[in-house]
Structure 1
Amino acid sequence: MAGNDKRRGATRKPGSKKGMVKGSGGQRRKGLEGKGPTPKAKDRVPHPAKKRADAAKAKTEQQNRRQREQRELPELVAGRNPVAECLRAGVPATGLYVAQGIDTDDRVKDAVRNASDKGISVLDVPRTELDRITGGALHQGVALQVPPYKYAHPEDVLTHAQDSGMPPLLVALDGVTDPRNLGAVIRSAAAFGAHGVILPQRRSAGITAVAWRTSAGTAAQLPVAMAVNLTRTLKDLKSEGLMVIGLDADSDITSDELELATGPLVVVVGSEGRGLSRLVRDTCDQTVSIPMAGQVESLNASVAAGVVLSEVARRRRTRTFSR
């Protein structure tokens, strides 16, 4: 219609036309260029593999965070019986935590009294705080904080054994990674007259709060040494006149035939699953098995150690009485 092109908005302003005016500005060439390789499935946002990768990463970060939190927590022996036994045994401790509002029985009263007599701080804390610092363990309202264990040197353990006036009896652990097994072995070693325990520096449990609890405080009575190389340490002990026997299902003899029991001796206990490592087994003078009835193939490492150490103690007593 005449005159409409003069109406406001009826025509476009110069330079406002949409799209390309002259040429393509290189857009066509860019459109023909490749966009590079297709990203991996785990890198593509909507892909299920990406979701799985993100979930795995988040889980790993959560586990690492929990491990850091565990390392920052103090070493605590939890539970009324373990705490009372550790205090009676003279376990070095820096603090006794008692949850507020708990029912105090004789064990709690004895623990508080022993801690006070030894100059150990007694701290009343909320139960929620005790739950946190014990990592959710069954603490029954009490926990004992213990400092990091100070390991002896194998030579010091041997000297202690030689100065006892009895034939040295040592226990060495090869690949025992469960601190509960370690604590139980230490308890058996103390009960049957051993003079010390030797642990390898690698692939072995250490004296933690769990080991303290299982040992019922006997780790404070028996020296525990850390060996940089267990095989080399066993060879050094052999050069000092000690015989080395290893507990092994495919053995030379049974514990009923253990004639070496009355002399200077090292009893080596392997892990329940793997047993003795090859180098350690080759270093042993004899391997010993435990005669068993039924279809049981093996015993727990700490149980096996207790059986053999009991036999060693029996033979030593018999020899003493026969003189």
Structure 2
Amino acid sequence: MSRNPERNDRKSGKKPAFGDRSAPRSGGPGAGAKGKPEGGPDRGGWNPNPKPKSFSDSAPRPSRAKADADNFVWGRHPVIAALANPARKGMGRLLATADRAAELERDRLANGHRIEIIEAQALDRMLPPGAVHQGLAFKVQPLEGVALEDIAGDGGVIVMLDQLTDPQNVGAIFRSALAFGAKGIVVQDRHSPALAGALAKASAGATERLPCARVTNLSRALETLADMGWRAVGLDGSAELTLEEALDERPTVLVMGSEGDGIRRLVAEHCDVLAKIPMPGGFESLNVSNAAAVALYEAHRKQSS
């Protein structure tokens, strides 16, 4: 609510006389029985000397929506993809507005899940602020992931993310990886967001269709992949080789580092080669999800030629 110092004077048509020292102060002599104690706010007016607020020593309690965010998938494409995922069968709580519930039933998209009809405003309160749910939300446990060997059997391209924590970036990389036919994503278990919430929304449902391996140690994972015939190409803006020069038709792991720190030293040492994306426009760098899309396109082109 805006604080307007003239608000209380509109009925009388008078302007507040801030410079009139002869006027009785609220709570002071002559203020009358209804006067406020000194330091208290005048009725709706601006108070230049507010009472100090008392603060609790205990830590603030997180909102329920924030605490539950990792257990929700929201938005039309992510929810429909989750409902179609066999790993989700028989689990979760499906929430939908009346029009979305009718769509799910008409097109037989619920896949056996019972639909709970809910008002859009109630759904807003259940989800994090700003969540664009489009009238659909699915409360489930995050996906567990698959074993590294499950995505490394047939060659192709794998994307490895070294401590990328921004859900929007990771979700966008999932979306690009699925679009360009990658076999899967590898992340470090302790330093990666859950495959739900804002990440699932940014992926447009790709997290439900593209396998993800969560490993304890990325360097050891690269050693395992090397033993299986995979070649690791790390993206580094200061590298000597360009991406086109570094890539070939062999099974390839594209290693992407965080925007701030890039690939960590030990992970970089386990890459067969480091490569950069040439930028003739002179701009220093791309967003990591955009860089991943460029790298995935180039890797797919090399392997298809």
**TM-score by structure 1 length?**
0.69
1:190 matched to which residue of 2?
Answer: 178
Aligned twin of 1:140: 134
Q: Say whether 1:111 aligns with 2:99.
A: no
Q: How does 1:295-310 map to 2 (within 5 A)?
A: 295-310=282-297
Alignment of 1:56-71 (within 5 A): 57=57, 61-62=59-60, 65-66=61-62, 70-71=66-67
Larger Rg: 1 or 2?
1
Per-residue CA deviations over 1:106-164 (Å, capped at 9, x if unaligned) read x7643344565501111112334312221232323322333321211212222xx32xx
**Map of 1:31 onto structure 2:** none
User: Given the alignment of the two structures, is residue 252 of structure 1 paired with residue 240 of structure 2, yes or no?
Assistant: yes
- In structure 2, relative to structure 1, the CA distance for the partners of 1:135 and 1:226 (3 Å cut) is same
Q: Which stretch of structure 1 is more off in the superposition, 76-85 or 223-232? A: 76-85
Deviations 1:208-241 (A, max 9, x none): 2222222222222221001101111111211222
* Whole-angstrom distance in 1 between the partners of 2:270 and 2:256: 13
Deviations, residues 185-215 of structure 1 (Å, cap 9, x unaligned): 1121111121111101222223122222222
Residue number in structure 2 paired with 1:200? 188
Matching residue of 2:158? 170
Contact in 2 for aligned 1:84/1:110 (Cα 8 Å): no
Counterpart of 2:93?
95
8 A Cα contact 1:74 1:133, kept in partner? no
Distance in 2 between the 1:183 and 1:74 partners?
A: 13
Pick from 221, 231, 234 the counterpart of residue 243 of structure 1: 231
Local SS of the residue matching 2:286: coil
Alpha-carbon shift at residue 75 of structure 1 (Å)? 2.2
Instruction: Give the aligned residue type for 1:96.
Output: L
1:290 and 2:283 are equivalent in the alignment? no
Contact 1:77 1:212 in 2 (8 A): yes
- The answer to whether residue 115 in structure 2 is matched with residue 122 in structure 1 is yes
> Structure 1 residue 68: deviation in Å?
6.3
Change (3 A) 1:289 1:57: farther
Measured at CA, do residues 264 and 138 of structure 1 come closer, stay the same or move farther in structure 2, by a change above 3 Å?
closer
Which SS does the other structure have where 2:144 is aligned?
A: coil
How many residues are matched?
A: 251
Deviation at 1:248, TM superposition (A): 0.6
- When residues 81 and 227 of structure 1 are mapped into structure 2, their CA distance, relative to the original with a 3 A threshold, is closer
Q: 2 CA distance for matches of 1:217 and 1:275?
A: 27
The AA in structure 2 aligned to 1:314 is R
Counterpart-to-counterpart distance in 1, 2:174 and 2:278: 23
Q: Is the contact between residue 77 and residue 205 of structure 2 (CA under 8 Å) also seen in structure 1?
A: no
Aligned-pair CA distance for 1:72:
4.5
Any idea what the Cα deviations from partners look like across 1:273-323, whole Å, max 9, x if unmatched?
Answer: 1110010111111111111133421111111111011011112222xxxxx
Aligned to 2:75, which of 76, 79, 82?
A: 79
Give 5+ residue unaligned stretches, structure 1.
1-50, 319-323
- Contact kept, 8 Å, 2:84 with 2:111, in 1: the verdict is no
Question: Matched residues in 1 for 2:74 and 2:185: separation?
Answer: 24
Q: CA RMSD in A?
A: 2.7
What are the within-5 Å matches in structure 2 for residues 12-31 of structure 1? none
Report the 3-state secondary structure (helix = DSSP H, G, I; strand = E; otherwise coil) of the residue aligned with 2:259: coil
State the identity %. 35
In 2: Cα distance, 1:133 partner to 1:315 partner: 46
Q: Is the 8 A contact 1:80 1:108 kept in 2?
A: no
Match of 1:266 among 239, 253, 277: 253
Tell me, what secondary structure is at the counterpart of 1:184? Answer: helix
The 1-side partners of 2:138 and 2:262 are apart by 34
1:77, distance to aligned residue in structure 2 (A)? 2.5
